[in-house]
Amino acid sequence: MHANGLVEGIRQRNIPSLARAISLVENGRNGYEELLSALHPTVGRAHRIGITGPPGAGKSTLIERLVQAYRAADVTVAVVAVDPTSPFTGGALLGDRIRMDALTLDPGVYIRSMASRGGVGGLATTTREVCDVLDAFGFQRIIIETVGVGQSELAIAGSADTTALVLVPESGDGVQVLKAGVMEIADLYLVNKADRPGADRLVQEVEIMLGIRRGNAFRHVAPHHRPTAHPTPGTAKGEGEAGSGAWEPPVLSSVAVKGEGVEQLITGFDAHYAHLERSGQLVAMRRERLARHTREVVDRALSNLVWHDRDGEARLAAGLDDVVQGRTSPYRLAHDIVRDLQEGSRR
Amino acid sequence: MHANGLVEGIRQRNIPSLARAISLVENGRNGYEELLSALHPTVGRAHRIGITGPPGAGKSTLIERLVQAYRAADVTVAVVAVDPTSPFTGGALLGDRIRMDALTLDPGVYIRSMASRGGVGGLATTTREVCDVLDAFGFQRIIIETVGVGQSELAIAGSADTTALVLVPESGDGVQVLKAGVMEIADLYLVNKADRPGADRLVQEVEIMLGIRRGNAFRHVAPHHRPTAHPTPGTAKGEGEAGSGAWEPPVLSSVAVKGEGVEQLITGFDAHYAHLERSGQLVAMRRERLARHTREVVDRALSNLVWHDRDGEARLAAGLDDVVQGRTSPYRLAHDIVRDLQEGSRR
C-alpha cells in the first residue's frame, strides 16, 4: 500500500492502516518521511505522557490500570513501550504485556512495543515519529513507556509533554541516581507498591530532594528568569519554576495492582497539561520540539546520503587499512569522504 | 599555542601541553581534529578499562586504590571520569574526587573529569578522543569511569578494551536491569563493599545470570560462530564466546575502602587483555572502533557544515513558523535545507 493510501486510511481511523503506517515508520522503509509529512498538519492534539522507572517498578500494571481508567471515562489511549532489550533476552520484557492484549480488542486502545533500533538518538527520533502517527490517528492520550533510570531512558520519556518517574521502596539505584542529580527532573513522581515497608520514607526522601533542587534552582535564577505567575514561554521544563505560578512536581503514591492511586495520577497528568497550556509552555515546548526534530531529520538525511546513497561505506572500507596502520588518520579519511560527497553533488 | 606545538609537547611528555590538548579536544576548539590527526599514529598502546556502576557503588574509592596499586608497580595510569551531572547539582559528583588530587602530584598519574556535552553520542565520541590524547602521551592504563546503570553509561564505558561493572549488595535496580537483560554483558563483574550483608548472595545471583546468558548465547550460535579455541576475529565482545577458548566474565569481590580485592581485579584486567591479544579480538575490536569513529567524524563534519558553516540554522528559523502552523512539515523544511546545502556546494 502506498503512503497516500495509508494517509487516507488513518484519516478514516482504519486500524490495519495504522499498524502498517507504524511499521513503515519504525523500519524506515520507502515513503515513511512522505507519510509523516502528509500527516504533520493533523499532529498535535494528543497529550503525550512519558512514564519511566527501573525494571520491576510495576510500570506495566500501572499502565494497564491507567488505560482502563481512561477507557472508563471514554478517553482513547495509545501505549508505546520502548524496550531496549539486549540480543540475549530478545524481548523478554514483552512477556509482561501479553495480558494487556485483551485491552486491544477495544478500538479505543492501541498498544505497540518498539525494539531498540540503531543508536539511542535514532530510537528517540523514531519513537517521536511513531507517536506522531498515533496523534494524527486521533488518540487523545499517548503513553510512552521506557525502562531504566539512565539518561537515555529518561530522554525518550522526557520528549513527552508530561513525564512521570515511577519508583518503588526497593529502588536503591533509582534513588541514588536521583540524589546524584544525574537525572533530569520529572513532572510527577510516583511511589508505586506503596503498601510495602519503606514507602512513606521514600515519598519523604523524594520530597526532600525536590525541595533541595528547588532551592538550588532558585539560587541560580537569573533576573529575567524570576518566577512570575506566567513563566516565560520557552523556559525549559522544571527550570526556574519555583514560585507562585510554577509547577511543583507532586510526589504521589499508588498500589497499581489494586488500582489505588490511579485516579490521582490521572488528575495529576491533567493538572500538568492545564498548567502547560495556561503558562504558554505547551506552545513553546512543541515549537522547540519541531525545531529539534527538523534538525534531526536533516542530520539523518545527510548521514543516509553519505553512507547509503553515495559510496561513503566503500571509501571507508578502502581507506581503513591505512588508518589502522597509521599511514592516515580517521580525520583525514573522514575529510576525504566529505569532500567526495560535495564534489559528487557537483557532477 | 598551535596544535603543532601541542603535538611536540605531548611527544615530550609535557603535562601543561597535555592539559591544553585535552581542553582543546573536549571543547571542540579550532584545530582539535588536526591535533588528533597528528597524534593518531602514536595511539593504541594503552589498555583502556571502562568502569561503571550505580552511584554509591564506591567506584571513586576503588579507582583511587587501583591507581595506587598501578603506581606501586610503576605502571602509569590516567583516569577519565565522565559525569553526566544535571544543571541542578553542577558537578556534585566531583566532590568525591577531591581527595584523589593528592595523587596528581605524581607525574605518572593524570585525572580528568569530563562534563556532559551535547548529546549522548557526542559525549561518547569526545570521551574516546580524550582517551586518544592520553594514549598518545604514553599512559599505560586509561580508566574510563561512568556513573549509572543505563544504556548510555555502559556504552561509554563499553568503548574500552575491557569493561567492568561494579555492584554493591544494595544495588536493587542494577541487578534488576541486569536480570532484564537491558544491559550488555561486561567483561568483569565486581561486587564491592563485600563485607556487607547480601554480598555472597549477589555474587551468586550474578553468576547464575551469567550462566543463563551463556546458555542463551550458546543456543543462538550459528554454525560459523561455533566456539573454537581461537574465536573468530571480529566476534563482538561476549557474543558466541561460550566454549574452551572463550572469555568467561569472572565475578570478583572487593572491599575497596580496605584495599581488599584490588590486586585480583588488576589480575583480571590483565588476563582479559591477554585474552584479547591471544584471540585476535584486540586487533579486530580496534579496527572496528576506528571504522565507527571515522563514521562519527564524517557525520559530525556534515552536521557542522549544515548548522555552522552554512545557513541551516537561519533557514530553520525562517521556516519554523510554517512548520508550527502546519503549512509545511519538518520533512519538507529539512529537504529544502539539505538541497540548499548541496546547491551551495555547486557555487
Do you know the residue count of chain A? Answer: 347
CA neighbor of B149 nearest in space, from B159, B140, B158, B137: B158
CB A182 within 8 A of CB A151: yes
Least confident span in A230-239, B100-109, B170-179, B270-279: A230-239
ipTM comes to 0.83
Alpha-carbon span B139 to B202, nearest angstrom:
34
Question: How confident is the model at residue A343, as a pLDDT?
Answer: 78
DSSP designation for B161: S
Q: What is the pLDDT of residue A56?
A: 80
Mutation target vs B (from A88, A127, A209, A212; most B CBs, 10 A cutoff): A88
The secondary structure element, H or E, covering residue B48 is strand B47-52
Of B36, B40, B217, Cβ closest to residue A88: B217
Number of neighbouring beta carbons within 10 Å of residue A326: 12
Please write the tens of the pLDDT for every residue from B103-142: 667 889 998 888 655 444 477 888 999 999 999 999 999 9
Q: Per the CB < 8 Å rule, is B176 touching A316?
A: no
Q: Does residue A24 sit at the B interface (CB-CB below 8 Å)?
A: no
Distance, CA of A182 to CA of B148 (rounded, Å)? 8
What DSSP character marks residue A246?
S
Contact B312 A320 (CB under 8 A): no
Q: What is the pLDDT of residue B230?
A: 39
Please report the number of interchain residue pairs, chain A to chain B, with beta-carbon separation below 8 angstroms. Answer: 249
Residue with more model confidence, B267 or B344: B267
Chain B residues within 8 A of A329 when measuring between CB atoms: 36-38, 40-41
Quick check: A85 and B36 CB within 8 A?
no
| R_g over Cα of chain A | 22
What pLDDT does B135 receive?
98
B219 touches chain A (CB under 8 A): no
Are A330 and B213 a contacting pair at CB < 8 A? Answer: no
Instruction: Identify which of B153, B294, B320 has the shortest CB distance to residue A330.
Output: B294
Record: contact B316-A40, CB cut-off 8 A: no
Contact B330 A171 (CB under 8 A): no
Pick among 3.30.450.20, 3.30.930.10, 3.40.50.300, 3.30.230.10: CATH of A43-280: 3.40.50.300
CA distance B173 to B160: 24
Q: Is A102 on the interface with B (CB under 8 A)?
A: no
Chain-centroid distance, C-alpha A92: 21
Best of B220, B282, B329 to substitute, by most chain A Cβ atoms within 10 angstroms, is: B329
- Look at A242 and B16; give whichever has higher pLDDT: B16
Cα B249 to the center of its chain, rounded Å: 18
**Residue of B121, B123, B120, B100 lying closest to B112 (CA atoms):** B100
CB of B260 closer than 8 Å to CB of B232: no
Inter-residue contact B221 to B227 (CB < 8 Å): yes
The residue behind cell 512548520 is: B323
* H or E element that contains B51: strand B47-52
On the CB side of B305, how many CA atoms lie within 13 Å of its CA? 22
Q: Please give, one letter per residue, the 3-state secondary structure of B234-260.
A: CCCCCCCCCCCCCCCCCEEECEHHHCE
Q: Do A55 and B323 touch (CB under 8 A)?
A: no
- Return left, alpha or beta for A193; rule: phi > 0 is left, psi -120 to 50 is alpha, else beta: left
Q: How far does A68 lie from chain B, in Å, by closest CA?
A: 26
Of the candidates A269, A298, A9, the one whose C-alpha atom is nearest the C-alpha of residue A144 is A269
Q: Are the beta carbons of A338 and B33 separated by less than 8 Å?
A: no
Using an 8 Å CB-CB cutoff, list chain B residues near A177. Answer: 54-55, 148
List the single best residue of B113, B294, B303 to mutate versus A (max A Cβ within 10 A).
B294
- Residue B92 has a pLDDT of 38
Query: Which of B93, B183, B329 minimises the CB distance to A37?
Result: B329
Q: How far is CA A164 from CA A112, A167, A168, A184, in A?
A: 19, 10, 13, 11
- In angstroms, the CA B247 to CA B241 distance is 6
- Residue-level pLDDT, tens digit, chain A, 347 residues: 566 789 999 999 999 999 999 999 988 888 999 999 999 999 999 999 999 887 788 898 999 999 999 999 999 999 998 865 433 333 334 444 544 555 667 889 998 888 655 444 477 888 999 999 999 999 999 999 987 666 667 677 778 999 999 988 877 666 666 665 545 578 999 999 999 998 998 898 888 888 766 654 443 333 333 333 333 333 344 444 444 478 999 999 999 999 999 999 999 999 999 999 999 999 999 999 999 999 999 999 999 999 988 889 999 999 999 999 999 999 999 999 999 888 765 54
Residue in A85, A148, A307 nearest the CB of B181: A85
For the stretch B121-150, what's the b/e string if a residue is b when 16 or more beta carbons lie within 10 angstroms of its beta carbon?
A: bbbbbbbbbbbbbbbbbbbbbbbbbbbbbb
- With beta carbons less than 8 A apart as the criterion, state whether A38 and A47 touch: no
Q: How do the residues of chain A divide into helix, strand and coil, expressed in percent and rounded to 5?
A: 55, 10, 30
| Residue B148 DSSP SS3 | strand
DSSP B195: T
pLDDT at B241 over 90: no
Strands (E), chain A: 47-52, 77-83, 109-115, 141-146, 162-167, 188-191, 251-253
Interface of B with A in 39-68 (CB under 8 A): 40-41, 54-56
Determine how many CB atoms are found less than 10 A away from the CB of residue A208.
12
Distance CA A298, CA B313 (A): 11
Q: A288-299 in b/e burial notation, b at 16+ Cβ within 10 A?
A: ebbbebbbbbbb
The DSSP letter of residue A307 is I
Interface test with B, best of A176, A205, A321, A335 (most B CBs within 10 A): A176
What are the φ/ψ torsions at residue B254 (nearest 5 degrees)?
A: -155, 160
- Report whether B109 contacts B76 (CB < 8 A): yes
Query: pLDDT: is A50 or B341 the higher one?
Result: A50
Inform me whether the C-beta atom of residue A178 falls under 8 Å from chain B C-beta atoms: no
For residue B49, what pLDDT is reported?
A: 97
| Closest-CA residue to A303 (of B10, B301, B276) | B301
Q: Which residue of A has its CA nearest to B347?
A: A346
B38 has a pLDDT exceeding 90? yes
E strand or H helix that includes residue A300: helix A281-304
User: What 3-state class would DSSP assign to A48?
Assistant: strand
Chain-wide mean pLDDT for chain A?
Answer: 81
Contact map slice: A 318-337 vs B, CB within 8 A: 319-320, 323-324, 326, 329-335, 337
Nearest CA in chain B to A294: B330
Q: What pLDDT score does B275 carry?
A: 97
* CA distance linking residue B139 with residue B22, whole number of Å: 14
Q: Chain B residues with CB inside 8 Å of A171's CB?
A: 172-173
Most B CBs within 10 A among A329, A332, A336, hence the mutation to make, goes to A329
**A176–B56: do the CB atoms touch at under 8 Å?**
yes
What count of residues does chain B have? 347
Q: Say if residue B281's pLDDT is above 90.
A: yes
Shortest Cα–Cα distance, A129 to chain B (Å) = 11
Confidence bin at B225 (pLDDT 50/70/90):
very low
Of the ranges A121-135, B142-156, B202-216, which is most confident? A121-135
Residues 104-143 of A with CB under 8 A from B: 116, 119-121
Cβ distance of A36 and B329 shorter than 8 Å: yes
In angstroms, the separation between the Cα of residue A274 and the nearest Cα of chain B is 20
Q: ∠B48-B120-B127 over CA atoms, to 5°?
A: 30
Asked if pLDDT for residue B74 goes beyond 80, the answer is yes
Confidence at B93, pLDDT banded by 50, 70, 90: very low
CA-based nearest distance B284→chain A, Å: 10
**Chain A residues 254-273 within an 8 A CB cutoff of chain B:** none
Q: Could you please report the per-residue DSSP string of A172-199?
A: HHHHHHHHTT-SPPPSEEEE-STTSTTH
Give the per-residue pLDDT at B178.
Answer: 66
| In chain A, ranges of CATH 3.40.50.300 domains | 43-280
Cβ of A294 within 8 Å of Cβ of B320? The answer is yes
B33 — contact with chain A (CB < 8 Å)?
Answer: yes
Report the distance separating Cα A48 and Cα A71, nearest Å.
16
Q: Which of A41, A180, A337 sits opposite B147 (nearest CB)?
A: A180
